[in-house]
Amino acid sequence: MDPLTLLAGPFIAQMNLGAPGMIETSSMGGEGEFLQRSQPIQQLTLMRTIYRGDCPGESVRPISGMSFLASLPPAGNQRIVIRNRRTGGYTNREYDSGRRRSERFSISLGDRHHGSFLSVTPGENEFRWSVTKAGNADGPTKGNAMLMVTIKDRERYRNFRSIDEDAYCPGEEYSSSRTPIGQCSSGYFKVKRQGICPNGSKIDLGTQIVYRRYRSW
């Protein structure tokens, strides 16, 4: 056998052993990061308002102006899909040339897709991103990202904006041609009361029976 072949044999064997590892490394996904005001973040705090009073409830204000930057930079006509593995929610944003980061979106609590809103839950959220229309991408087109979400609570009192009253003769609540309440044949009429909250929601306050000489709830 040729002496050069004998010397090259071990070197070729080492290359063959290393090839699978090299291929696996090149196919691994890259990392990505969320940006708030163009600065990378790993934790995000959402404000939750808990309402007391006439109109109880709670609301969480979404955080707008968020963006995302993957290990593969924006280029061409690319788009990037960011999906939350915990909620299943995702957002599909522009990621084309001329940008330094993705098109902006908002983050809110939830478990569904909301267009430009990306849903999260309290705690650690794991995301999977993928770049579409990447063409000849110089880097991974898929990867992972993490974001820790915390909730800060505050309390507010929310009372009725107004109270609506609807008076009608018995049996005519849904009638389009009501009898004047002074002419109700039964000798009394009913008044349905609803409280109107600042956000427009209505709370039923019950129905009052009004007789000719006195009232009874």
151 part of a folded domain: yes
Cα 60 from Cα 51, distance rounded (Å): 11
Q: What is the pLDDT of residue 214?
A: 54
Indicate the pLDDT class of residue 3, thresholds 50, 70 and 90. very low
Sheet of strand 215-216, all strands in order from the earlier edge strand to the far edge: 162-168, 188-196, 202-211, 215-216
Q: Are residues 58 and 125 in the same domain?
A: yes
Cα 113 from Cα 144, distance rounded (Å): 19
Question: Does residue 57 carry a pLDDT above 70?
Answer: yes
| One-character DSSP codes across 97-149 | TT-SSPPPEEEEE-SS-BTTEEEE-SEEEEEEEEEES-SS-SS-SEEEEEEEE
Q: Are residues 179 and 104 in the same domain?
A: no
Q: How much is the pTM?
A: 0.69
Q: In degrees rounded to 5, what are phi and psi of residue 100?
A: -100, -15
Q: Are residues 101 and 173 in the same domain?
A: no
Average pLDDT of 151-158? 95
Indicate the pLDDT class of residue 217, thresholds 50, 70 and 90. very low
199 part of a folded domain: yes
The alpha carbon of residue 216 and the mean position of all alpha carbons in its chain are separated, in whole angstroms, by 47
Q: What is the CATH number of the domain that holds 63?
A: 2.60.40
Q: Are residues 138 and 194 in the same domain?
A: no
Indicate the pLDDT class of residue 30, thresholds 50, 70 and 90. confident
Cα 191 from Cα 207, distance rounded (Å): 5
Q: Which residue has the tokens 């018995």?
A: 170
Residues 6+ apart with CB under 8 A from 18: none
Q: Are residues 61 and 149 in the same domain?
A: yes
Q: Are residues 48 and 132 in the same domain?
A: yes
Q: Are residues 63 and 119 in the same domain?
A: yes
101 part of a folded domain: yes
Q: What is the pLDDT of residue 35?
A: 96
Question: Domain boundary residue among 132, 157, 182?
Answer: 157
Residues 6+ apart with CB under 8 A from 199: 55
Q: What is the pLDDT of residue 29?
A: 53
Q: Domain count of the chain?
A: 2
| Nearest residue to 150 (alpha-carbon basis) of 34, 43, 57 | 43
Q: What is the pLDDT of residue 136?
A: 73
Average pLDDT of 71-82? 93
Question: Domain boundary residue among 124, 141, 157?
Answer: 157
Q: Are residues 139 and 200 in the same domain?
A: no
23 part of a folded domain: no
Q: What is the pLDDT of residues 101-132, one digit of tens each?
A: 999 999 999 877 767 899 999 999 999 999 99
70 part of a folded domain: yes
Q: Kindly state the percentage of the chain with pLDDT values over 70.
A: 82
Q: Are residues 171 and 147 in the same domain?
A: no
Q: Are residues 149 and 51 in the same domain?
A: yes
Q: What is the pLDDT of residue 119?
A: 93
Mean pLDDT of the chain: 84
Q: Are residues 108 and 174 in the same domain?
A: no
| Nearest residue to 29 (alpha-carbon basis) of 137, 124, 148, 130 | 130
Q: For 54, left (φ over 0), alpha (ψ -120 to 50), or beta?
A: alpha
Question: Domain boundary residue among 157, 181, 201?
Answer: 157
Domain coverage including residue 131: 29-157
Q: Are residues 87 and 181 in the same domain?
A: no
Six-digit token string for 10: 């071990």
Q: What is the pLDDT of residue 111?
A: 76
10 part of a folded domain: no
Question: Does residue 1 carry a pLDDT above 70?
Answer: no
Q: Kindly state the percentage of the chain with pLDDT values over 90.
A: 67
Indicate the pLDDT class of residue 12, thresholds 50, 70 and 90. very low
